[in-house]
Chains A and B, each alone.
Chain A
Amino acid sequence: MTRVTGWILPLLLIAAAAQANVAPETARKLYQEVTPSLVAVQYAWVSELGRRELIGAGVVVGDDLVMLPITIVNPQIPDAQMKDFKIIVPNEKGDPDEIEATFQGRDERTDMALVKAKTPQHWKPIKFEDIPVQVGDPVYSVGILPQVAAYKSYFMEAAVSAKLRGDVPHVLVQGGGLAAMGSPVFNSDGKAIGMTSYRFTTSILLNDRNESLNAITSPPKFFIPAHDFLLTLEDPPSPEKPVELPWMGVPDMTGLTKDVSEAFGLKDKPAIQIGAVIPDTPAAKAGLKQDDIVVKIDGKPLERGDEATELPEIFRRRLLRFKPGETVTLSVLREQDKPLVDIPIKLGQQPKRSNTAKRYFAEDLGFVVRELVFTDTYARKLPSDFKGVIVDVERPQSNAASGGLHPGDIIISMNNNPITDIGEFEKSYKALRKDHPHEPIVLVVQRQNREDTIRIEPPQ
């Protein structure tokens, strides 16, 4: 996904492709033990414009609980549009069993998600453990094939080739490669030590006919060590208690390169410069300033990445593991050759995001609006208290489209009435369409750096 080629390519060239040769009976034993713990997770994405079924691989982690990479349940998809969750349990003797399930929630601290069966089950959980690997260690993985191959499980073997920090830690393997994204990875003792990475793969869905066998013809070569995602199992999200993410109010940070570090007298200490602090956020209230250079977090040096550009993401993921309300102390360099300044920041709660924003479908004119969230106004450099609703989706060839409305437009008024929130929009829209069904609707929208006036002619 991000900046892959930079570090992968050289590593592929220098990595010694160790050959692993597992005894057939060992391989068979692992395969048979793991197979009952491999399932598929299916749900329907029911948006205003249609319904689409998505199926991805999952691993049983409790009697009735399945973990899967967050990629399958993309955080861009509104929560309310994810319906009809099912856990598909492959069956060697016939059609797979489909068990109704409940979405437990996403965990963006680890980029995993959980799904739970609605009825009690006695599945065999896989126990992930934080066991380090060394270059040369053999690793095995067992995954399930796509829908077209009836979700049959399959075995892969490889050897650890390199351990990368990255912004998310990754282990590179050589040899046969790994089973598809979301498959458990084992060491030679048969312990589950990681999961095939959700990055660097084109095979995400098990029901995508265009790329159904990509993961088999070009097997993935990266897995994420268990220590990066064990938190999801220790502190699992549930519908009653979703993961609450902390918030500092610093959306823009830069990792210091060696040259910049030296210029600020930091030698080669890992450090991050604060690019912007949003007013009235925890960071702003605590006194963190634009240009401050963060050198320590809670008294400890920052963790180093493989390169400076990874530092902000490593730091951001580290922060995500705090809870809202907790205090984190950043030690910052504000003036060169002066002592570090300690800034305790009481973390707040992340502002509402688009996937939980309220929506309204203006069906007859063919567009969907939702309430504005922080990222909408921030990306457009609008004040955070900017009022309006944002066009999220538009039906092609709709009246709204031919009137010139675009997805991403922020509607600030409708027929001269200021639109302050989604409820207001829905009420005014319904009234207008009911009382004046044949009259055009005039919207004023904020688009990029200017406003535009849009006239939508209703169907006659």
Chain B
Amino acid sequence: MFCAALALLSASTFVLGKGTRSTDSNEPFPSATPRTVVDVSQRIFPAVVRLDVAQEIYSEGKRTVQRGIGSGVIIDEKGRILTNFHVAGRAAEIFVTLYSKERVHGTLVGDDHWTDLAVVQMDMDEISKKKVDFRYAELGESKGLIVGQDVMAIGTPFGLARTMTLGIVSNNERTFYPERMRIDEYETGMFNNWIQMDTPINPGNSGGPLVDMTGKVIGINTRGGGQNLNFAIPIDVAKEVISRILTTAKDGKKGRVDRSDLGIDFKPLQDLETFYNIDINRGVLVNSVDRNSPAEKAGVKSQDILLDINSKPVNVRFPEEIAAARKMIADLPIGTDVNLTLKRGGKTITLTAKTEKLQGVVGEEKEFKSWGISVRELTRAYANEARLDDTQGVVVTTLNIGYPAEKAGLDRGDVIRLVNRKPVTDLDSFGALYDASIKRKDKVVVLEVQRGQGRHAAVLKVNYDEE
């Protein structure tokens, strides 16, 4: 699958920051008559933008940027833009091209890789200085979508600005379970289902709106599967994420969505009800419990049937219901006790687990130029995936060829546990040890490296140019 983006058309003048008009219709699913298609396009185009983004990435031991084009939709009069995480997340630099073809700066307000969403703020001073007009789109509802109803996508496929395509909703509860999706290395799509549509989208459409025939945004175009199998994030998911990003973005910090985690992998119970001797459509199978997770500490075991979370029933018979069950846990307050009612064999038991903040496998990353490496914080999720005993150390992500770390034989995926015999507890402590070593001008640095099942010493020979 690919990910997509978009740009805008120009024509008449717009009132600064005015909302687009949506047609209120009494029909449950207004259809794409020639008139509505033209009408809706004319109204939604001025709220759609092209985003040129330089995303922060690490390569050859250094922080660098990767440039790409995507799409976005303006969502309020303050000039906020909704787009994909894979378009604007980790952005170091954003340019927003509006419908009027004018270009202004944008900044990342916050992002959330779990839902592949990001919020960008247009530079409003620049907007008013340049007297740029824009409109914002009205966000609709995705929960009432009907399979077969007409929808339109707007974006910048392959950089072709102002492209509108038409199609129908093919499925309104698509799940990719049991596939575990990643964008780059980031987990995504764990907590929501998708809108599937046959509306053509292509790379460059990502982040652009999917609208119904009243002109309301009902999804964010995100993935293409080829053969007219395309996928959008439902706007109901996006609305919640936007609100959480906006409330957490303050004091110069990026907005984010914090979630709770218990470390349980669920499985639908379809065709297994008789085997576990449970009622149809009751409970969810605990398929696996992560090592060192809150659920493990609480005594939850694989093959338990989870019936209730804090007395609220959790029922997963079909794969389509998995995301909602995961979200029930994600939505719990972090660091609080939660009562889990479980069926184990013939007995019903209640266990109490303390929720933990959900972390992905990708930890925070930094460059350490003199040694020629970039490393990441080692998260519990990563430790679990890489089958490490604990989260001590940092993970090597990239190496600069010819620099000390590469010459010492370090490799991607190595875990650095000791620096000059001092333990590396996390990324900050590694940074402190690095800084101290550079300050002392250590010519020889001894690391202890975990690779696979074994450990070994590696020696960095560092040169200091007296410039």
Contact = CB atoms under 8 A, between A and B. Distances in A.
Contact of A453 (B267, B289, B455): B267
B436 interface: no
Interface stretch (A8-16, A171-179, A442-450): A442-450
Contacts of B302: 444, 451, 453
Interface string A225-267: 0000000000000000000000000011110110110111000
Contacts of B303: 413, 416, 444, 453
B459 A276 contact: no
Contacts of A381: 387, 453
Interface string B237-268: 00000000000000000000000000001010
Contact of A263 (B265, B267, B290, B444): B444
Interface in A268-291: 273, 275-276, 290-291
A451 B454 contact: no
A386 interface: no
A455 interface: yes
A403 to B, nearest CB: 11
B456 interface: yes
B275 A263 contact: no
B384 interface: yes
A450 B408 contact: no
Contacts of B385: 449
A451 B87 CA distance: 34
Given A440-B271, A452-B288, A453-B285, A254 B459 contact: no
Interface in A419-460: 440, 442, 444, 449-453, 455
B310 interface: no
B272 interface: yes
B461 interface: yes
Interface residues of A, number: 31
A257 B459 contact: yes
Interface string B424-467: 00000000000000000000101010011111111101000000
Given A453-B285, A453-B303, A275 B457 contact: no
A288 to B, nearest CB: 13
A251 B384 CA distance: 22
A275 B453 contact: yes
B424 to A, nearest CB: 16
A456 B409 CA distance: 46
Contacts of A127: none
Nearest to A442: B275
A413 B409 CA distance: 42
A234 B267 CA distance: 59
B271 A276 contact: no
Q: Identify which of B302, B384, B461 gathers the most chain A CB atoms within 10 Å of its CB.
A: B302
A449 B385 CA distance: 6
Contacts of A200: none
A276 B456 CA distance: 9
A28 interface: no
Nearest to B269: A453
B453 A252 contact: yes
A273 B446 CA distance: 14
A263 B453 contact: no
B272 A442 contact: yes
Nearest to A290: B455
Interface in B283-299: 285, 287-291
A449 B287 CA distance: 12
Interface residues of B, number: 31
A260 B272 contact: no
Contacts, number: 84
Given A257-B409, A380-B387, A452 B287 contact: yes
B130 to A, nearest CB: 53
A7 interface: no
B387 A275 contact: no
Contacts of A257: 408-409, 459
Contacts of B285: 453
Interface of chain B, helix or strand or loop or mixed? strand
B271 A451 contact: no
Q: Identify which of A290, A452, A453 gathers the most chain B CB atoms within 10 Å of its CB.
A: A453
Nearest to B448: A291
A99 B424 CA distance: 65
B456 A451 contact: no
Interface string A356-380: 0000000000000000000000101
Nearest to B272: A455
A238 B384 CA distance: 45
B457 A276 contact: no
B457 A453 contact: no
A386 to B, nearest CB: 13
B387 A276 contact: no
A448 to B, nearest CB: 8
Contacts of B461: 259
A378 B387 CA distance: 11
B448 A451 contact: no
B387 A449 contact: yes
A276 B455 contact: yes
Contacts of B288: 450-452
B240 to A, nearest CB: 28
Contacts of A380: 387
Contacts of A273: 455-457
Contacts of B452: 252
A438 B452 CA distance: 43
Contacts of B272: 442, 453, 455
Contacts of A259: 408, 444, 459, 461
B174 to A, nearest CB: 20
A438 to B, nearest CB: 13
Given A263-B444, A444-B303, A253 B454 contact: yes
Contacts of A290: 454-455
B287 A453 contact: yes
A262 B267 CA distance: 54
Interface of A: 251-254, 256-257, 259-260, 262-264, 273, 275-276, 290-291, 378, 380-381, 413, 415-416, 440, 442, 444, 449-453, 455
Given A290-B455, A380-B387, A455-B271, 5 more contacts: A252-B454, A276-B453, A291-B448, A416-B275, A453-B285
3 closest A-B pairs by beta carbon, nearest first, are A275-B454, A252-B454, A254-B456
21 contacts: A251-B453, A252-B453, A252-B454, A254-B456, A257-B409, A257-B459, A259-B461, A263-B444, A264-B457, A273-B455, A273-B456, A275-B456, A291-B457, A381-B387, A444-B302, A444-B303, A449-B385, A450-B288, A451-B287, A451-B289, A452-B288
